[in-house]
Structure 1
Amino acid sequence: MLISYKWLKSYVPDLPEPDKLVDVFTFHLCEVEGVEKKEDDTIFDLNILPDRAHDLLSYRGIAKDLAGILNIEYKNIEYKIRAGEATKLSIKVESKNCRRYMARIIRKIKILPSPDWMKNYLLSMNQRSINNLVDATNIVMFDRGNPIHVFDLDKVEGSIIIRQAKEGEKMTTLDNKEVKLSPLNMVIADEKNILALAGIKGGKVAEVTEDTKNIIIEVANFDPTNIRKTSKEINIYTDAVKRFENDLSPEIVSVSMNDMSALVLEMCKDATLEEVVDIYTKKQEKNKLSFNIKRISKRLGLDISVATVEDILKRYGVLYKNTDDDFEIVVEDMRIDLKTEEDMSEEIIRILGYEKLKEELPKINWNSKTNEVYSKIFWARNKLLNDEYSEVMTYSFRDKGEVEVLASASDKKFLRTNLSDGLKESFKLNQLNMPLLGMSEIKIFEIGTVFKKNGEKIHVAYVDKKNVVEVSLDEFCKSYQGEPLVDLSAKSYQLKANFKPWSIYPFISRDVAVWVPNVVESYQVYKVIKENAGDLLVRDPYLFDSFTKPASTAGGDGKTSYAFRLVFQSYDRTLKDEEVNEIIAKISYKISKNSSWEIR
């Protein structure tokens, strides 16, 4: 929301200079998103959060809060107007979403350009001046926070009716947009036509024009949820919606009507005023809030005195009574956010300053009891990790089980009854990557909860060669009771661990088997393969098989076979078979240059 420093100063004459006021906003009220100097004024762009939008989306709300924070005078400017004449205006409230509806007829008005002061105030809010009447509605809305609408009285037929729309009804808004309505939408209508979308946008039927002579001023309070839902449904969002959807107090309706009437009478000297029609269906009850100073002090970690709280309440003009540390206050109508003692705790520290909160670590009882279940899980995990297993975590949801989950996918309707099913699936997936990992076997385990009708249990499951073993946590710990754990971490050996990222592209593996004389060692073959494999080789050649045919045996020729597995992968592309085949061909060529070596 854009706020004029000059406009604020009319309510709080002793405001600090704009550069200092920025700090007051930031540390006590709201975030300042921008500051702009405009001739002899300064404009603040404030980010008003939803929890305070009901009172801070108005000049008076902001001015009163600033005066309380700074403990300086707040000028509550009030306008006195003459009593209205008797009226025949008929209002019918048929919708439960209208909490208060106030209307008044003013006759003999003149549509004229607005006075300069009004134009300047609107300009500071980035609003263009339209005419004296429309501008007056905007001025009062920004000042008080309650939206106002005006109808041309001579275009209204019969009573004004506040009701829900009928299915399929249509209306044309002031900006010539045709809107198809539903029963969700609340409308302001007369006996024949829809005049406005309640709390959102006026309609063309009773639009005020240059020829308007008599008007109906509408100031109302509508249900915030209904306004928000309607706004989203018809895709129209206005300044009025922004205020109504944040739950305004119905009590500001009457003062907003008074201010609007006073402005019209000031600009139209010959205008005649009729009395207001006020239908207040859901009266706002006075909110009384009780709190205890000692509890608030404990919550904030500060020693808040009774005198400090009394001073704050007096600054804001809040009625209160107290017995020692116990207070009861009558919350101001605009402050519908203050409901609990916790709210009051936050309010007190906001006014005093958050910087007064002390930095202190929470007091923790370090002599807490050992969690036996967690200790067993910790022991079991470390036992398996020390045995060179890797931990996996699988889904707790399965397509079969004993405990059903509501509103879940068909293949995940039950909680798991074992860990084995998930571990088997994980084993199959990891098998695909064995060449890349350079592993001869997959060693994985899981510790997790299984769910049965009679309760939950923690199980341990691990792969033993190719079989899955699953036992309860207690059984696992008992079976290995007394075995010491060995710390195999790099830290225990003072090793420096080096890490590099995995490639996101698939790998290709190839096996190369070579017959060599018995006198040739495997590392000699390894060396030839390694030197000619190129940069795409991501793991050292892995010797996965070897056997010898002695010359003395039948069919033996005194040779040994070494079989190596090679894994190729790129970090920037998917490899093609042709690329890898070229590398293997190069390796085969180099091997064949040794006359006594032969590719199998």
Structure 2
Amino acid sequence: MKVSKNWLKEYLDLNNITDEELFKEISFHICEIESYKKMVEATNLTIGHVLECVEHPDSDHLHVCQVEIKPGIISQIVCGAPNVCKGAKVIVALPGAVLPGDFKIKPAKVRGVESNGMLCSLQELGVDDKYIEERFKNGIYLLGDDANVGDDPLEYLGLDDYIIDLELTSNRSDLLSIEGVAYDLGATLNQKVMPIMPTIELSEKKNPVTVKVETDKCYKYNARYLANVKIEESPQWLKARLIASGIRPINNIVDITNFVLIEMGQPLHAFDADRLGNSIVVRQARDGEKIVTLDTIERTLTSDDMVITDGKKPVCLAGVMGGLDSEVENDTKNIVLEAAYFDPLCIRKTSSKLGLKSESSVRFEHKIDYDRVERAMDYAAQLMQEICGAEVYDGVSCDVKVVLEPKTVTVTADKINSTLGTDLSDEFVKEIFDRLDYTYAKNGKEYTITLPSRRMDLEPSAQDITEDVARIYGYDNIPTTIAKTRDKGALTYAQKRTRLIRQILANMGLNEAVSYSLISEKDLNLYTTEELAPVKVMMPMTEDRAVMRQSLLNGVIDAVKYNKARKLDNLAFYEIGKTYSTDKEETKLAIAITGLFSSHLWNGYKQEASFYVLKGILDALMVKLNVEGITYRACSDVKAFHPGRCASISLKGQEIGIIGQMHPKFAKDMGIGTTIALEISLEAILNTDNGLKYQPINKFPAIQRDLAIVCKKDIPAVDIQALIKQTGKKTLTKIELFDLYTGENVGEDEKSLAFKLTFEDPTKTLEAAEVDKLINSILNRLDYVYKAKLR
């Protein structure tokens, strides 16, 4: 937000405040300052009057001018501008002047003729081309007849100003106006700001315009009718204010609406009344409806966009940009002046979708002062009456759909002091409330505050009021204290478990990867068994980072791909992080290994990455975390995994993840070779404390039996193992699958599974007969449930 220092002076007395003090007040109490600079960096300028202008004797384009630079003092200056002429009032850079670019003016001879200065264009003073009228772009700038010889031309043009460029935070929309900045600066300087209260001479004629709002996205809409306006160039003071704010002057009507927008923060729009008609209807656009905006671009709209219509067709894209069909032009005689409050989210959506940002849309998006709408419109009408000779018809056409009620909050000085660690007196707190222009009622120690309507950033909470008090009091005045607490700082159980997992995996030789939380939408469902709804970013920087990740495998597989491309073949990565679905965030662990997992050993042993190596890593991790109940079940419905070398992972019957070898085609496309990966949810693991269980060493001997079972190939070994465990009860303390056989003596659709069973009883020595009885029970259950037989 560019703020003119001279404009602020219309609200506040800054004469006794140095620039350094002004910077400090703004930076410490309001917001950061990006820059502070003069509008024009030039010295030793004066207004001159060209008394004589003749052609240079040795040039076909130069002129020799006799210029009155001070009353009665004449100086000869050679000028090459095509528009220099006798009688012109001009900007003169005298000898010793320094222009932008460190260009110094000295007396000189130009083709043998003495020249004591330079007649200047605005470009030579550093003014951007876009602010300069077309007729002066190729020559010097000619001042008005009312310019006085010897005066400062920058003061005459309103360019003797300093521009303060504020770096605003998104919540402080009240600072998007000179009046808003003045209010806040006045609070820090303890100066009262008097708001503009417009006065209009109303015609006896009645406003003929009717207004109808048909959408709840328009809270209220006001329209005034102004007749017999004279469209012409704006006065210099008005143009200077707009230039200081970075806005190009156009004509007096448009300039006045922009002037009020900057001064009061209220966007306005002027329609050509004769082209608009007397009916205004505010509604949502129809899908496919079109409008040509002021930038001459035809735009196709949807029902998400709000439009102003003449009752039939759109004439304005509400809150963003006017339409070309109702534009104010040089022959416009009558106008309709609009002032409204539009829904911020609706304007933001339209502006973002169409890529169309304007001064108006920025303010509507960040919320404007609901109570300032009518005052700003009347102020613009007053200026149009004074500058354009407008006849303001009696009455404001208005339709209100939503009324924003004032926000109130209750707070005490004690609460403020308790939060800030200060000892501010009740009277001082009350004084700050007055400086902030709060309206309040006091009951005992309590203040019931009605928040100013312009302060859209404030919520009705004691914290926001406390922050405002701290800001005006000065953060540098608040004593620095160590926060007091009765509790020692410590890691949560989940944080401790997370650190332990990292330590265990690092000890196993794995490297931690940290990847982006944003991925491409096309990669969202690579590692899942179902189609997931994407969590999209509203305005992604690139399509590769458009949705939130729902799997950590995207990151670790990308890490493998990146390193493989750099000729690193033996890789083992893990990542612990958040994934994001439409209804929750979840902490997960992902691991990917490829190449040799164990190598360079003294005995030459090398262990290649495989499904069972990674399964062993996970099992070992679960043992160290004291997590029991992990089981695996074959699955084949995940796109990126090998259908025959993939398993789902469950914890006590609840599926928590997946493990497997990457699909050969996927691995080839990615350039990652044979890669094994897993991903599990850590939610249950991080928050479950199984505790350490003590179990004395059994002093009675164990009995082991080998059991070979023939069953159908499609029956998972884990199901057979679970049934054996269940039937063996507590006496069966250990079960291991040690052989899988298919071939001779076994049916084509069958397989043989060999298990080693360990039986023991901590209270006595088991008899062989007892174990035989359990074995028979196991065989009977297997036969009954799976038709499995003893081999």
Superposition TM-score tier, normalisation by shorter sequence: 0.5 to 0.7
- Please state how far the C-alpha of 1:32 moved relative to its aligned partner: 0.6
2:237, 2:491 → 1: CA distance? Answer: 73
Residue among 298, 302, 315 paired with 2:418: 298
- Please state how far the C-alpha of 1:229 moved relative to its aligned partner: 0.3
SS at match of 1:254: helix
Give 2:37's aligned amino acid.
E
Residue among 185, 194, 204 paired with 1:66: 185
Residue among 201, 208, 223 paired with 1:82: 201
Mark the CA change 1:270 to 1:106 in structure 2 (over 3 Å): closer, same or farther.
closer
Native 8 Å contact 2:252 2:388 kept in 1: no
1:195 aligns with 2:315: yes
Give 1:318's aligned amino acid.
Y
2:424, 2:213 → 1: CA distance? Answer: 48
Task: Write the deviation string for residues 336-393 of structure 1: whole angstroms up to 9, x where unpaired.
Answer: 22221111111110111111233333334467999899999999999999xx866888
Match of 1:30 in 2: 31
1:176, 1:274 → 2: CA distance? Answer: 34
Match of 1:348 in 2: 469
Give 1:73's aligned amino acid.
K
Residue among 312, 333, 357 paired with 1:237: 357
Match of 1:269 in 2: 389
Alignment of structure 1 residues 308-387 onto 2, 5 Å: 308-339=428-459, 340-365=461-486
Match of 2:597 in 1: 432
1:272, 1:172 → 2: CA distance? Answer: 29
- Please state how far the C-alpha of 1:58 moved relative to its aligned partner: 0.3
Match of 1:254 in 2: 374
Native 8 Å contact 1:14 1:73 kept in 2: no
SS at match of 2:294: coil
SS at match of 2:308: strand
1:136 aligns with 2:256: yes
Q: Please state which structure has a larger fraction of its residues in strand.
A: 2
Give 2:340's aligned amino acid.
A
Native 8 Å contact 1:99 1:281 kept in 2: yes
Mark the CA change 1:374 to 1:257 in structure 2 (over 3 Å): closer, same or farther.
closer
Mark the CA change 1:436 to 1:296 in structure 2 (over 3 Å): closer, same or farther.
farther
Task: Write the deviation string for residues 270-296 of structure 1: whole angstroms up to 9, x where unpaired.
Answer: 634332112222112121111233222
Native 8 Å contact 1:152 1:215 kept in 2: yes
Match of 1:540 in 2: none
1:409, 1:452 → 2: CA distance? Answer: 20
Give 2:36's aligned amino acid.
V
Identity of aligned residues (%): 31
Mark the CA change 1:436 to 1:173 in structure 2 (over 3 Å): closer, same or farther.
farther
Structure 2 gap segments, 5+ residues each: 41-159, 515-525, 535-548, 554-573, 576-589, 608-615, 631-649, 657-684, 698-791
Mark the CA change 1:474 to 1:249 in structure 2 (over 3 Å): closer, same or farther.
closer
Ranked by relative contact order (alpha carbons within 8 Å, sequence separation 6 or more), the top structure is: 1
Range with greater deviation from structure 2 (371-380 or 303-312): 371-380
Native 8 Å contact 2:598 2:606 kept in 1: no
1:58, 1:263 → 2: CA distance? Answer: 18
Mark the CA change 1:298 to 1:202 in structure 2 (over 3 Å): closer, same or farther.
same
Count how many residue pairs are aligned between Structure 1 and Structure 2: 453
Task: Write the deviation string for residues 70-97 of structure 1: whole angstroms up to 9, x where unpaired.
Answer: 1123233322112343222111111111
1:427, 1:114 → 2: CA distance? Answer: 69
Native 8 Å contact 2:307 2:315 kept in 1: yes
Give 1:81's aligned amino acid.
I
Match of 2:268 in 1: 148
- Please state how far the C-alpha of 1:428 moved relative to its aligned partner: 6.6
Task: Write the deviation string for residues 104-148 of structure 1: whole angstroms up to 9, x where unpaired.
Answer: 111111001111110111111122211111110010000110111
Give 2:600's aligned amino acid.
P
Mark the CA change 1:382 to 1:260 in structure 2 (over 3 Å): closer, same or farther.
closer
1:316, 1:307 → 2: CA distance? Answer: 14
1:156, 1:427 → 2: CA distance? Answer: 66
| Structure 2 length-normalised TM | 0.51
2:341, 2:220 → 1: CA distance? Answer: 5
SS at match of 2:270: strand
Native 8 Å contact 1:288 1:328 kept in 2: yes
2:387, 2:172 → 1: CA distance? Answer: 33
2:35, 2:497 → 1: CA distance? Answer: 57
Structure 1 gap segments, 5+ residues each: 413-421, 458-470, 482-600
2:249, 2:591 → 1: CA distance? Answer: 69
Match of 1:550 in 2: none
SS at match of 2:194: coil
Match of 1:539 in 2: none
| Structure 1 length-normalised TM | 0.67
SS at match of 2:319: coil
Native 8 Å contact 1:11 1:77 kept in 2: no
